[in-house]
A and B are shown apart, each in its own frame.
Chain A
Amino acid sequence: ELKVEQNPLFLSMQEGKNYTIYCNYSTTSDRLYWYRQDPGKSLESLFVLLSNGAVKQEGRLMASLDTKARLSTLHITAAVHDLSATYFCAVVPKETSGSRLTFGEGTQLTVNP
């Protein structure tokens, strides 16, 4: 059974600081997704990583994928309050046809002024 683990689960940081969220998964995969969820809202797609070594950046967020280590990271640079949300990674096993995302538990990020 595929397991996806995120850490930390809770992250409180100050504005202007940098931090990294880690996503480990237990089976071979070359499809990894990052989503953001605000309280009471749906999931917003942030990044799709489809190959080993893939790196994508949008604003203060940068995501990377190491399929050999079965690890993805979401790096936050110079955090601002607007980044406060819950971040999920999701993985699709390599042998899966189509879409069947297994999600991590989520990292609840709070950025304090």
Chain B
Amino acid sequence: KAGVTQTPRYLIKTRGQQVTLSCSPISGHRSVSWYQQTPGQGLQFLFEYFSETQRNKGNFPGRFSGRQFSNSRSEMNVSTLELGDSALYLCASSLAGYSEAFFGQGTRLTVV
């Protein structure tokens, strides 16, 4: 069966711009979580969506937002990009958020 699909895979943006990343979970999975991975901070939780509602939120500024659609696909938006937002953004899907979480290939965002 198809895995978790993230688009785009690579992105280069300029400081001050905004960006939207997309995540399509495994069919039947209703929980989608987002993580940021950087060499300095490691893997950090951004937020989790379940049935179109944000269920958990990490400690990131309000510039980071997300949403989930009725088909469980999720988008993450970062506004007013900063150089420090350069990272690998990973999304994970699971059935309901309590079982195994499967990760997508990630979106590599570079802010210049």
Q: Which residues of A contact B (CB under 8 A)?
A: 31, 33, 35, 41-45, 48, 88, 90, 96-103, 105-106
Interface membership of chain B positions 72-112, coded 1 if the CB is closer than 8 angstroms to chain A and 0 otherwise: 00000000000000000010101011111111111000000
Q: Which residues of A contact B44 (CB under 8 A)?
A: 103
Q: Is the CB of A33 within 8 A of B101?
A: yes
How many chain B residues touch A (Cβ–Cβ < 8 Å)?
Answer: 26
A-B contact pairs, 25 of them (CB 8 A): A33-B101, A42-B90, A42-B103, A43-B103, A48-B99, A88-B43, A97-B55, A97-B97, A98-B48, A98-B50, A98-B96, A98-B97, A99-B33, A99-B48, A99-B98, A100-B33, A100-B56, A100-B58, A101-B35, A101-B43, A101-B45, A102-B45, A103-B42, A103-B43, A105-B42
Question: Distance in Å from the Cβ of B33 to the closest Cβ of chain A?
Answer: 5
Partner of B105, one of A41, A96, A99: A41
Q: How far is the CA of A6 from the CA of B56 in the complex (A)?
A: 24
Centre residue among B43, B104, B106 by max chain A CB count within 10 A: B43
A-B residue pair count with CB separations less than 8 angstroms: 62
Decide if B31 is an interface residue (CB 8 Å cutoff). yes
Distance (whole angstroms) from the CB of A100 to the closest CB of chain B: 4
Query: Could you tell me if A98 and B101 are in contact, using CB atoms closer than 8 angstroms?
Result: no
Q: Is the CB–CB distance between B101 and A31 below 8 Å?
A: no
B99 contacts A98, C-beta separation under 8 Å: no
* Apart from A48-B99, A98-B96, A100-B48: 16 A-B pairs, beta carbons within 8 A: A42-B90, A42-B105, A44-B103, A45-B101, A48-B100, A90-B43, A97-B55, A98-B97, A99-B48, A99-B98, A100-B33, A100-B56, A101-B101, A102-B45, A105-B42, A106-B42
Residue-wise, chain B 42-74 has the 8 Å CB interface mask toward A (1 for contact) of 111100101000011010000000000000000
Is the pair B56, A96 in contact by a Cβ cutoff of 8 Å?
Answer: yes
